[in-house]
Amino acid sequence: MKVVFIVTEIADIRKTASSLEIGKEYVGMFIESNNSVSWTDPINEQDWVFWVGDTCEIVNNLKNYTIDKDILNAKKNYNSHIKMWQYVTDDFVHITCKTEKGLESNWIKYKKVFAQ
């Protein structure tokens, strides 16, 4: 299950050009069997595992949606999308883009979405 989580501690060494920061929200995959969240840094592709209650806190569960074109137009100034992730909570959509300029990540209040 995909979740929004906050990093509370970085217990490993970050590779060059890492986007990982303590206190920031990220979207990762919750692994119930060992109470952890896996996440891959979209900038340097380093894989991470965070332990819930130890090195991260879960903020919210997510649902995947196809997003209204109006939302995507909000990011139109970033024409060089290499990767793009889209997630929706009850009120906001989270869009993360890996661009030539680096990682762009935003929560945007949405007008409407269409469930897949």
Q: DSSP secondary-structure letter at 17?
A: T
Residue 1: predicted pLDDT: 84
Residue 81: predicted pLDDT: 44
Q: For residue 93, is pLDDT > 70?
A: no
Segment 82-98 shows an average pLDDT of 54
Predicted TM-score (pTM) above 0.85: no
Residue 50: predicted pLDDT: 97
Lowest mean pLDDT among 20-24, 28-32, 43-47, 57-61: 57-61
3-class SS at 48? strand
3-class SS at 61? strand
Would you state the structure tokens that stand for residue 110, as one six-digit string? 């949405």
